[in-house]
Homo-oligomer: A and B are copies of this chain.
Amino acid sequence: MAKGKLFVISGPSGAGKGTICKEIFDQERNIELSVSMTTRQPRQGEIDKVHYHFVTKNDFDQLIEEDGFMEYANVYGNYYGTPRAQVMEWLEQGIDVILEIDVQGALQVQKNYDDGVYIFILPPSLEELKKRIRGRGSETEETMARRLGEALHEIHNIDKYDYRVINEDLDTAIDRVRAIITAEQCKINGEEVDWIVNKYKEDL
């Protein structure tokens, strides 16, 4: 059986990757969504194992020691990471997996997992990104400037990705990411060619 494909969906904070991934996961039956692990406290409404695996710093450290993360990072004092075991198990079973992750994390994953499909979600403009971040509240002028600078720095890494989707209209962006997933599932890989030819040969 063919292995599953890893779809790494990332982009600047505020570009909309979270919403896109959630919609696709809700609509597609044959794909799994990897849930990150974090040491930060759950926010109101966040459910353990759905939004994150909430763990203690000790548990997180132990998994680091066991080389159990595809990537992890310390973000302003809290740790976030992608546990490797569950993702690998799905892929081995032939199940496709979505990883929603920031750009730094995606580049880390890429170093270890070159077979993945890397999709970059772009905001229509930094002006629009600013509006969206402001809409979430909680940003000062200083943190806003830093976040826009980070976004631009992240966009510089777009050449390491396979696809780019501009999230101007959400439904169009979701359709495009779905199209990328469908197309990748139609790609011919060398391993299956003999299998295909033999399948038809038996018919004759």
Contact = CB atoms under 8 A, between A and B. Distances in A.
Nearest to A151: B200
A180 B178 CA distance: 10
B125 A164 contact: no
Contact of A203 (B120, B125, B186): B125
Contact of A163 (B164, B176, B183): B183
B186 A182 contact: no
Q: Classify the secondary structure of A's interface with B.
A: helix
Contacts of A163: 183, 186-188
A175 B175 CA distance: 11
Interface residues of A, number: 38
A125 B203 CA distance: 7
12 contacts: A125-B200, A125-B203, A148-B204, A152-B201, A155-B200, A159-B188, A161-B188, A164-B186, A164-B188, A179-B186, A180-B183, A183-B183
Given A164-B186, A180-B186, 10 more contacts: A125-B200, A125-B203, A126-B200, A148-B204, A152-B204, A155-B197, A156-B197, A158-B193, A159-B188, A182-B183
